């Protein structure tokens, strides 16, 4: 689907959609719990569906009715091989490799798109070293047999925090204690804190420090009901839209959330945005922005939309610490720069980020590169652009935000299929 987005003043109120990062974790914990859990998650997407389908395959009974998910936990070890359709969800694959191994039995992981090319090392080698029997690394469908054994796991912190989340979720259901050692600096650390937060709601309390995680056997205990909190990652698109295009008020976001992408508020303030908070209401007005330096080590998902704010800012914005973006749904350093250049913005590539010289984006054609965050970023860039912008492959938004273009229309934006 190709969409033409025309410049238009936008404004209004919008409630943040539910966090898919939170929902992934809640679905897994609920499936491992002692009794049923009701999860309230008003919005879904392809990634959430992938995790739900995989947990069903592993033996959980999950039903959904208008955003109310009833999760009856896995009652016994699955007989295999079960097929786990991860689709394009990296979280689903990386979280469930350790979980399925800890449950025992046999499973086959299926993936689509670039996910087969995204790294599984060193998680793969650590699982094999602790009893898992797996088909060759990087070859899909990926088969898994055997049962994970407790012990000491050691992983570098710079590849993916998802590896650590997968182990944190899996290791409590083993019979003995385990230790996870972090080699170097753990990047995207807020995602691990989010994992801890959700596990805590289910009565499991791993001891996590900067370079060490201690996990003792513990039963997951259902809280009964759980509300999935609002998604800061996707709210960031509308907060930037307010700063470059008009007044927007977001609700439904928790300021004490463990989600790292809540840093969007502070970053926009540093760039000069008129942004104000009142309880769970965050209002952003069109502002004269200026360039800043950004360390994206803990907030890689914000880089595409921050590049849009930088495109409208006076002066240069330097984004560093983003080398892992090359391993996302697209090579996001390359695809972000491609987007900016298509809109007439001067920018330069660095090994771990980019330099963006702000100005006024012009009309152009942007290829979303099958990447939801590129499709949404290009759309936000278009709302105050000097002319129409065509986004090729705009349906990529369905991975995380199927209602994105409906919400754009609610705020006065215009997108026409071409």
Answer for the pair 365, 343: CB distance below 8 angstroms, yes or no. Answer: no
Answer for the pair 57, 82: CB distance below 8 angstroms, yes or no. Answer: yes
Residues 73 and 206 in one domain: yes
For residue 45, the enclosing domain spans 20-227
Output DSSP code: residue 314: B
Answer for the pair 333, 325: CB distance below 8 angstroms, yes or no. Answer: yes
The CATH number that applies at residue 174 is 3.65.10.10
Q: How many CB atoms lie within 10 A of CB 286?
A: 20
Output DSSP code: residue 105: S
Boundary of a domain, candidates 227, 261, 296: 227
**Residue range 200-234, pLDDT digits in tens:** 999 999 999 989 999 999 999 999 999 999 999 99
Residues 136 and 263 in one domain: no
What integer pLDDT is reported at residue 33 of this predicted model? 98
Boundary of a domain, candidates 227, 244, 269: 227
Residues 31 and 166 in one domain: yes
> Phi/psi class of residue 399: alpha, beta or left (left: φ > 0; alpha: ψ in -120 to 50)?
alpha
Boundary of a domain, candidates 177, 200, 227: 227
Residues 143 and 246 in one domain: no
Residues 33 and 11 in one domain: no
Residues 178 and 40 in one domain: yes
Number of domains in the chain: 2
C-alpha span between 192 and 394 (Å, rounded) = 30
For the whole prediction, is pTM greater than 0.85?
yes
What integer pLDDT is reported at residue 35 of this predicted model? 97
**Which stretches of the chain score pLDDT less than 50?**
none
Residues 199 and 273 in one domain: no
Tokens in use for 5? 């987005």
Residues 352 and 336 in one domain: yes
Output DSSP code: residue 119: -
Catalytic-role residue among 47, 261, 298, 301: 301
Residues 104 and 24 in one domain: yes
What integer pLDDT is reported at residue 3 of this predicted model? 97
Q: How many CB atoms lie within 10 A of CB 63?
A: 11
Residues 25 and 12 in one domain: no
Residues 160 and 271 in one domain: no
Cα 91 to its chain centre, rounded Å, is 8
Residues 154 and 278 in one domain: no
Burial 85-118 (b: 16+ CB within 10 A, else e): bbbbbbbbbbbbbbbbbbbbbebbbbbebbbbeb
Told to judge if 301 belongs to the known catalytic residues of this protein, a careful annotator would answer yes
**Residue range 91-103, pLDDT digits in tens:** 999 999 999 999 9
Sheet of 142-145, strands arranged across: 82-87, 107-111, 142-145, 133-134
């Amino acid at each position: 689907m190709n969409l033409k987005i025309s410049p238009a003043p936008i404004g209004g109120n919008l409630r943040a959609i539910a966090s898919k990062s939170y929902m992934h974790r809640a679905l897994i914990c609920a499936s491992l719990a002692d009794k049923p859990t009701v999860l309230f998650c008003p919005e879904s997407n392809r990634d959430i569906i992938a995790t739900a389908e995989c947990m069903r395959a592993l033996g959980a009974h999950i039903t959904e009715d208008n955003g109310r998910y009833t999760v009856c936990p896995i009652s016994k070890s699955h007989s295999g091989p079960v097929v786990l359709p991860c689709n394009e969800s990296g979280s689903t694959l990386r979280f469930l490799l350790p979980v399925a191994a800890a449950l025992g039995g046999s499973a086959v992981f299926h993936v689509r798109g670039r996910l087969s090319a995204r790294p599984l090392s060193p998680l793969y080698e650590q699982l094999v070293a602790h009893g898992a029997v797996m088909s060759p690394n990087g070859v899909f469908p990926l088969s898994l047999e055997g049962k994970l054994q407790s012990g000491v796991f050691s992983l570098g912190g710079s590849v993916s925090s998802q590896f650590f989340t997968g182990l944190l979720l899996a290791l409590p259901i083993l019979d003995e204690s385990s230790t996870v050692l972090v080699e170097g600096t753990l990047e995207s650390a807020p995602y691990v804190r989010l994992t801890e937060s959700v596990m805590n709601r289910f009565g499991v309390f791993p001891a996590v420090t900067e370079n060490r995680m201690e996990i003792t056997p513990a039963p997951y205990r259902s809280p009964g009901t759980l509300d999935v909190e609002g998604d800061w990652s996707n709210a960031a698109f509308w907060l930037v839209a307010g700063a470059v295009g008009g007044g927007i008020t977001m609700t439904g976001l928790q300021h004490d959330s463990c989600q790292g992408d809540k840093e969007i508020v502070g970053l926009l303030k540093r760039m000069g945005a008129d942004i104000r908070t009142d309880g769970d209401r965050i209002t952003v007005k069109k502002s004269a922005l200026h360039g800043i330096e950004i360390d994206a080590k803990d907030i890689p998902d914000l880089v595409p939309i921050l590049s849009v704010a930088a495109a409208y800012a006076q002066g240069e914005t330097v984004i560093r610490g983003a080398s892992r973006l090359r391993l996302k749904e697209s090579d996001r350093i390359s695809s972000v720069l491609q987007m900016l250049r298509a809109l007439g913005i001067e920018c330069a590539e660095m090994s771990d980020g980019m330099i963006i010289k702000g100005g006024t984006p012009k009309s152009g054609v942007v290829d979303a590169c099958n990447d939801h965050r590129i499709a949404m970023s290009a759309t936000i860039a278009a709302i105050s652009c000097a002319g129409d912008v065509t986004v090729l492959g705009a349906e990529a938004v369905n991975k995380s935000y199927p209602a994105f273009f409906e919400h754009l229309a609610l705020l006065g934006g215009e997108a026409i299929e071409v």
